């Protein structure tokens, strides 16, 4: 099982980035895939998730209306479109796979078993 996050970079406030999470070694259609972020000195927090059913998306309050999660099962990839970026969005972003047969908590890091390596997003003028 592998998850490869990419797409991070340095942008100015108000700009956009799209992160990608490429899955391999499993069929992502059957799993909820989530995006998390960790800023320096802070705990890892849930940002967004896309349910295995493909019908439900979840967002942290801090990103609602600005971030959009989507998935392309044919490409085994989950995307996070980030618009109107703010300096407080600066963090390392991780994608992860939700555990099966466990309490369903799509924005809780404890609910995820496999993690990608992270991609750095820096929002600064």
In tens, the pLDDT along 52-104 reads: 877 899 999 999 999 999 999 899 999 999 999 999 999 999 999 999 877 88
Burial class (CB in 10 A: 0-12, 13-18, 19+), 124: exposed
Span 24-48, mean pLDDT? 95
Span 26-31, mean pLDDT? 90
Burial class (CB in 10 A: 0-12, 13-18, 19+), 115: middle
- Identify which of 4, 8, 79 has the alpha carbon closest to the alpha carbon of residue 38: 8
Span 34-63, mean pLDDT? 94
Greatest Cα pair distance, the chain, in angstroms, is 44
Portion of the chain with pLDDT greater than 70, in percent: 100
Span 110-125, mean pLDDT? 96
């Amino acid at each position: 099982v592998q998850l490869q996050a990419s797409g991070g970079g340095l942008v100015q406030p108000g700009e956009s980035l799209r992160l990608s999470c490429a899955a391999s070694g499993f069929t992502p259609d059957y799993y909820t895939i989530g995006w998390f972020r960790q800023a320096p000195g802070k705990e890892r927090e849930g940002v967004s998730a896309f349910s295995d059913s493909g019908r439900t998306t979840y967002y942290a309050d801090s990103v609602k209306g600005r971030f959009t999660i989507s998935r392309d099962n044919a490409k085994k990839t989950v995307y996070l479109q980030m618009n109107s970026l703010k300096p407080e969005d600066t963090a390392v972003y991780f994608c992860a796979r939700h555990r099966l047969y466990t309490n369903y908590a799509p924005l809780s890091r404890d609910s995820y078993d496999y993690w990608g390596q992270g991609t750095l997003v820096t929002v600064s003028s």
